[in-house]
C-alpha cells in the first residue's frame, strides 16, 4: 500500500464565545466537526478554507490568522491528514445557500456544549484547534505562501 497523506484545511470561527461547527453525516451517524475539507487542485490553502467554510455552513468568512498545522492519523481508517487550521470571523450568512451533500447544517456551540457532545465528534482535532485558538497564539496569514 502506498502511503499518501491528505492535505486538509479547517476554520475556527468564534462569535461571543460560540464556535461555528458543522453537523454532518459520517456514514449513518450525525457528527460534529469544524468547517473543514480537502485542498482542491490549483487552489491555495486560504482559498480552500474560505470555500469549505461557505460550502459546509453558508457563511462567508474573513481569515484572521493561522492557528496551527496538525498531523493526524484517523483511528477509524488509518488515513493520515495534514490539517492547516485557520482562525476567521463570520462576515455574512447565506441561509439560502445549498450546503454540500451530507451536511445537516451549521451549529454555534460553546466549548462546554461541544465537550458535552464528545461522543459526536468527528475528530479529536476539533477541540485541539479550538483550545489552540483560545490560547491566543495566532500566526500571521503570510505564513502561508502560495506556490510560484
* Domain presence at residue 58: yes
Enclosing domain of residue 76: 6-143
* Domain presence at residue 148: no
Q: Are 141 and 63 in contact (CB under 8 A)?
A: yes
Q: Per residue of the chain (148 residues), give pLDDT as tens.
A: 576 779 999 999 999 999 999 999 988 899 999 999 999 999 999 999 999 999 999 999 999 999 999 998 888 788 888 999 999 999 999 999 999 999 999 999 999 999 999 999 998 899 999 999 999 999 999 999 876 6
Q: Tell me what pLDDT residue 2 has.
A: 72
CATH of the domain at 104: 3.90.79.10
* Domain presence at residue 115: yes
Instruction: Give the chain's domain count.
Output: 1
* Domain presence at residue 131: yes
Cα separation of 65 and 17, whole Å? 18
Q: Tell me what pLDDT residue 78 has.
A: 84
Amino acid at each position: 500500500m502506498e502511503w499518501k497523506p491528505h492535505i486538509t484545511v479547517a476554520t475556527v470561527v468564534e462569535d461571543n464565545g460560540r464556535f461555528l461547527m458543522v453537523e454532518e453525516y459520517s456514514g449513518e451517524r450525525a457528527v460534529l466537526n469544524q468547517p473543514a475539507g480537502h485542498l482542491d487542485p490549483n487552489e491555495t490553502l486560504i482559498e480552500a478554507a474560505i470555500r469549505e467554510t461557505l460550502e459546509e455552513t453558508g457563511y462567508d468568512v474573513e481569515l484572521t490568522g493561522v492557528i496551527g498545522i496538525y498531523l493526524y492519523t484517523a483511528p477509524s481508517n488509518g488515513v493520515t491528514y495534514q490539517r492547516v487550521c485557520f482562525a476567521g470571523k463570520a462576515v455574512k450568512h447565506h441561509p439560502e445557500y445549498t450546503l454540500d451533500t451530507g451536511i445537516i447544517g451549521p451549529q454555534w456551540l460553546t466549548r462546554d456544549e461541544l465537550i458535552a457532545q464528545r461522543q459526536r465528534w468527528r475528530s479529536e482535532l476539533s477541540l485541539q484547534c479550538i483550545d489552540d485558538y483560545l490560547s491566543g497564539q495566532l500566526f500571521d496569514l503570510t505564513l502561508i505562501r502560495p506556490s510560484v
